[in-house]
Amino acid sequence: MKHFGILLLAGMVVLLLVASLFAQWEPDVRLTYDDSTSHTSYTNAKCVAANGDTVHVVWDDNRDGNPEIYYKSSPDGGTSWGSDTRLTDDPAYSELASVAVFESNIHIVWRDMRDGNREIYYKRSTNGGSSWSTDVRLTNNTGISFSPSVSVSGNTVHVVWDDNRDGNYEIYYKSSPDGGTSWGSDTRLTDDPVNSRYASAAVSGTDVHVVWDDERDGNPEIYYKSSPDGGTSWGTDIRLTNQTADSEHPSVAVSGSTVHVVWDDNRDGNYEIYYKRSPDSGTSWGTDTRLTYNSEQSLYPSAVASESNVHVLWFDERDGNPEIYYKSSPNAGISWGTDTRLTNDPANSRYASAAVSSTNVHVVWFDERDGNPEIYYKRNPTGNAGIEEQTDPRSKTTDIRLVCYPNPFTSIVRVKYAEISEKQKTNLEIYDVRGRLVKSVQLTTSHLSLGTEFLPGIYFLKADSKYVGKVLKVR
């Protein structure tokens, strides 16, 4: 049996380590190759999702003469990619796809015009993308259903969108309690005589969080609403911004009880990215935090959160053309790092979204560097560092420990191996985040000292044992 642990090796100080980890972005990867347009959603819907080492990407593509929904996946954390899979096949438009994943279940929603007007459709795979269900029509009205966003928690699938069946655009919600097999009725979340647009949803357990921009105050403002019971009942609308300028295009992310919201806002004369958070599942909210400072437009932010890490993307015109920018917080939005430019070419790069899995941050967007819009991907394999210790669910005993101290370290670290029930010689293997063996040594005593032969980063320790012990993760 195996015992696993994680060892975080620091640079000169922990803050330098954090800056180093969040800067290790790999080169851009082109995912589509055709002479027509391929687009990620411009409505802040997530176009990428990840579970373990598998990354899932959706987009709409015009290679078939009209936009259709396509899917592509990577089984190894973004290192290699499978072929494109066409998910829709209809002469009408299918576009604005959004994806969410739980274990091997993949859920996709999009806007579709096969019925003569725009409706929301759904499709799923229960085997990691190997096969797909038939299309399921989620809306049925004479109005326009627009801008769908999907999120999932366990077997419950949540979908929000905006819909003008009532004469103006309102936010609607629908859920499936059984992984997409059956669906409840449409729930109208807003009720005011002006437009409510660009809904974004995130879920943590049974808490569902929804944000949108709303014109009830004369200019677009950011509003929030939540359900504590998986969408059965809903609280009142909460106004998050209060400006005479426009606040638009919000995105929401959640980790535990901390809710993170980003949007673009022109209170400063040009559009900048703003952030706000709630530490108590939407009950109370902090002040607005301005994330960008430049003289050009910063637009369409998208957020994702994992424990204390918050990752924000947007496109920015400070370089003369739209480029993808990134910013992160390692402490749940309390403080933020510097802006990181992720793309660098003279063509337009727009509408990025991100997913996280383990220490990886995965980003997709559409890019015009090839003469027509194509889908691109980029990852940071150590960008989501800082996850806490937990017990391996396969453990049959806790009589084994692998302890690293000090951790993080700068010059030397001691590894203590303790097995209470018996002592034996143990092989210790150390791997980097890409799974490459860095060092192998035999533990002949209960302690081992390691020196400075490691570069700053995250390393995984594997010790042979008759037991499966704890998984040690460090913050």
Shared domain check, 182 and 93: yes
Contact 144, 118 (CB under 8 A): yes
Render pLDDT for 324-335 as a digit per residue (tens, 0 to 9). 999 999 999 999
Other C-beta atoms lying within 10 Å of the C-beta of residue 59: 31
Shared domain check, 265 and 229: yes
Shared domain check, 346 and 233: yes
How much is the average pLDDT of 335-342? Answer: 96
Of 380, 402, 419, which residue is a domain's last?
380
3-state secondary structure the chain: CEEEEEEEECCCCHHHHHHHHCCCCCCCEECCCCCCCEECCCCCCCCEEEECCEEEEEEEECCCCCCEEEEEEECCCCCCCCCCEECCCCCCCEEEEEEEEECCEEEEEEEECCCCCCEEEEEEECCCCCCCCCCEECCCCCCCEEEEEEEEECCEEEEEEEECCCCCCEEEEEEECCCCCCCCCCEECCCCCCCEEEEEEEEECCEEEEEEEECCCCCCEEEEEEECCCCCCCCCCEECCCCCCCEEEEEEEEECCEEEEEEEECCCCCCEEEEEEECCCCCCCCCCEECCCCCCCEEEEEEEEECCEEEEEEEECCCCCCEEEEEEECCCCCCCCCCEECCCCCCCEEEEEEEEECCEEEEEEEECCCCCCEEEEEEECCCCCCCCCECCCCCCCCCEEEEEECCCCCCCEEEEEEECCCCCCEEEEEEECCCCEEEEEEECCCEEEECCCCCCEEEEEEEECCCCCCEECCC
Q: How far apart are CA 419 and CA 439, in angstroms?
A: 22
Q: How far apart are CA 34 and CA 175, in angstroms?
A: 35
More confident residue, 415 or 12: 415
Residue 109 lies in a domain: yes
Shared domain check, 395 and 374: no
Question: What percentage of residues in the chain have a pLDDT greater than 90?
Answer: 74
Average predicted confidence (pLDDT) for the chain? 86
Shared domain check, 35 and 58: yes
Q: How far apart are CA 174 and CA 187, in angstroms?
A: 6
Residue given tokens 């259903």 in the structure block: 145
Contact 380, 50 (CB under 8 A): no
Is residue 456 pLDDT above 90, yes or no?
Answer: no
Residue 470 lies in a domain: no
What's the number of domains the chain is made of?
Answer: 2
- pLDDT score for 403: 63
Question: What percentage of residues in the chain have a pLDDT greater than 70?
Answer: 79
Query: Whole-model pTM?
Result: 0.80
Residue given tokens 């009142």 in the structure block: 236
Q: How far apart are CA 236 and CA 239, in angstroms?
A: 10
- pLDDT score for 399: 41
Is residue 24 pLDDT above 90, yes or no?
Answer: no
Any idea what the CATH number is for the domain that residue 447 is in? Answer: 2.60.40
Q: Is the peptide bond before 67 cis (omega within 30 degrees of 0)?
A: no
More confident residue, 460 or 87: 87
Residue 474 lies in a domain: no
Shared domain check, 287 and 175: yes
Render pLDDT for 440-450 as a digit per residue (tens, 0 to 9). 877 665 566 66
Shared domain check, 367 and 301: yes
How much is the average pLDDT of 59-77? Answer: 96
Q: How far apart are CA 342 and CA 361, in angstroms?
A: 12
More confident residue, 325 or 475: 325
Of 380, 396, 414, which residue is a domain's last?
380
Give just the sign of the alpha carbon dihedral 443, 448, 452, 457. Answer: positive
Shared domain check, 119 and 98: yes
More confident residue, 422 or 318: 318
Contact 94, 137 (CB under 8 A): no
Of 8-12, 22-26, 153-157, 381-385, which one has max mean pLDDT? 153-157
Is residue 48 pLDDT above 50, yes or no?
Answer: yes
Other C-beta atoms lying within 10 Å of the C-beta of residue 106: 26
Any idea what the CATH number is for the domain that residue 269 is in? Answer: 2.120.10.10
Is residue 465 pLDDT above 80, yes or no?
Answer: no
- pLDDT score for 326: 98
Render pLDDT for 375-430 as a digit per residue (tens, 0 to 9). 999 999 989 876 433 334 333 333 445 566 555 555 566 676 655 344 455 677 77
Of 327, 354, 380, which residue is a domain's last?
380
- pLDDT score for 441: 76
Shared domain check, 355 and 256: yes
**What contacts 317, CB < 8 A, 6 or more positions away?**
296, 297, 298, 323
**What contacts 130, CB < 8 A, 6 or more positions away?**
none
Residue 473 lies in a domain: no
Among 264, 265, 296, 260, residue whose Cα is nearest residue 280 = 260
- pLDDT score for 385: 78
Shared domain check, 372 and 445: no
- pLDDT score for 430: 76
Shared domain check, 275 and 137: yes
Residue 112 lies in a domain: yes
Burial of 71 (0-12, 13-18, 19+ CB in 10 A): buried
Q: How far apart are CA 264 and CA 262, in angstroms?
A: 7
Instruction: Give the pair of three-digit tokens for residue 168.
Output: 């103006």
How much is the average pLDDT of 216-235? Answer: 97
Render pLDDT for 168-218 as a digit per residue (tens, 0 to 9). 999 999 999 999 999 999 999 999 899 999 999 999 999 999 999 999 999
The model's confidence at residue 437, banded by pLDDT at 50, 70 and 90, is confident
Residue 398 lies in a domain: yes
Domain with 356 in it: 23-380
How much is the average pLDDT of 250-270? Answer: 96
Shared domain check, 250 and 163: yes
